């Protein structure tokens, strides 16, 4: 059956159902309904429209296929860009880990250097303090000796006149002469 035959059969069936229900119906008078004109118009549309409709559908199909190819190409490019960026991220993370490790090593070395310098400074301060204490002690001892000698001389001078009489003076002079080699 052709398309026109299908159309006519559908019209006949619709008319039969409409007339049985008592409502809308189809008039089968060919001259009154202008069914011949409609058949000619439909036939012309089918004959000439088939090429046009085929062309429109072919264009649409090629447009969709092109859009799918472009989308697939963009997906591949996006996947390649994602892989590239993930590689760059991995490299950046490795670099960050390396920098962190180097910073930790520098911090440890710097800490050790600072502690060593602090130990040297403390030892130098101890030596300086020890020298200062020794110097101060020696100065205090020298000052005490000088005071003691001064006090001893003052006391000796104070007691000397009362203890030194002529007999003791002669005895000291004789001993001194004997020490220097005189008779």
pLDDT one-digit tens code per residue, 152-170: 888 888 887 777 777 877 8
Is 70 exceeded by the pLDDT of residue 41? yes
Given this model, what pLDDT does residue 104 score?
Answer: 94
Q: Is the pLDDT of residue 37 over 70?
A: yes
pLDDT value at residue 29: 64
Whether the pLDDT of residue 44 is over 60: the answer is yes
**Of all residues in the chain, what percent carry a pLDDT higher than 70?**
80
Residue 34: the pLDDT is 72
| Mean pLDDT, rounded, of the chain | 83
* 3-state DSSP of the chain: CCHHHHHHHHHHHHHHHHHHHCCCCCCCCHHHHCHHHHHHHHHHHHHHHHHHHHHHHHHHHHHHHHHHHHHHHHHHHHHHHHHHHHHHHHHHHHHHHHHHHHHHHHHHHHHHHHHHHHHHHHHHHHHHHHHHHHHHHHHHHHHHHHHHHHHHHHHHHHHHHHHCCHHHHHHHHHHHHHHHCCC
Summarize the confidence of residues 93-111 as an average pLDDT.
94
Band of residue 22 on the pLDDT scale cut at 50, 70, 90: low
């Amino acid at each position: 059956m052709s398309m026109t035959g299908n159309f006519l059969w559908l019209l006949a069936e619709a008319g039969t159902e409409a007339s049985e229900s008592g409502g809308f119906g189809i008039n089968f008078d060919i001259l009154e309904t202008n069914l011949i004109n409609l058949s000619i118009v439909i036939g012309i549309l089918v004959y000439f429209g088939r090429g046009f409709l085929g062309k429109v559908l072919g264009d649409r199909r090629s447009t969709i296929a092109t859009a799918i190819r472009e989308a697939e190409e963009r997906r591949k490019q996006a996947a390649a860009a994602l892989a590239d960026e993930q590689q760059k991220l991995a490299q950046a993370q490795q670099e960050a880990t390396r920098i962190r490790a180097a910073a930790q090593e520098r911090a440890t070395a710097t800490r050790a250097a600072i502690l060593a310098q602090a130990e040297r400074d403390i030892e130098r301060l101890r030596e300086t303090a020890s020298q200062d204490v020794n110097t101060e002690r020696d100065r205090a001892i020298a000052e005490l000796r000088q005071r003691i000698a001064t006090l001893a001389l003052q006391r000796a001078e104070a007691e000397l006149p009362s203890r030194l009489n002529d007999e003791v003076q002669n005895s000291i002079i004789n001993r001194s002469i004997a020490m220097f080699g005189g008779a």
